[in-house]
Chains A and B, each alone.
Chain A
């Protein structure tokens, strides 16, 4: 299973980026391979409009099973997720990726 996180860095101790569309990185943990990898999303800063759908599309192509984020996607991004089976969990604001992963495993995060 692959779990994606919106994050301000690329490591387990990086903070979760509470924003979805304008997240700096997408960090993905593959629990079968026990691998942590990431996608650099910082180009999004220069995009004036449509950050949500663009990041959602990118996430779609990374094919995670679960997304763990902070505030949750906005309306446009949520429309993209309607086309996918990705499960979204929100409320990981101010956690590290590790803490967010643990909270997800314990069922402490709210499903979007």
Chain B
């Protein structure tokens, strides 16, 4: 297995005359927590969609989890985990049923499904809640469950799209601890967030402005480079230069 889990070169996506993502290149390493930041309209979502096999680039090259980003979108989808900001589990299924359902979608065998289900329930300390309807769980628990389910098929990389919006600080920290634990175990984490303090939890952070990656480094180095006290200042000094931002439809 390679130590580079995501590698993209000159990735570009155009919609008609509009270049949403313009010639971006970067590598993400195994076990890294990679923060993917950008202002509204900077092209983050478009880039994420290409990296997760949901859309093909107009030009460029790259691999995600060992699969070609230009041709093997379907394979990429099977080998990554994804958790969106909108809660994506089924409220009218129980905790155990949700796990079983997603394990089935990812093609796990019956035996593996049962093993993984018990393992996840134990890890989450959710064994007593296995027959609880997901709709009845507090928001923080739902998010932890959604993260665990995003990893049900043991993917090399998990994409988290604004995972902690609206969660209380204690739950948010427990969530980050789960992320650390997964990264420590070798899972690569690719995360977008609007919380600039959360950017500081990441191993490295990239910041997109007007479709380009304008900065990429560890939070410490970025703060040095921009002579800033916090990631919030780094972000604002870059986003202020955005031309398209508000003009984007």
Question: Does B bind A?
Answer: no
B interface residues, Cβ below 8 angstroms from A: none
A interface residues, Cβ below 8 angstroms from B: none
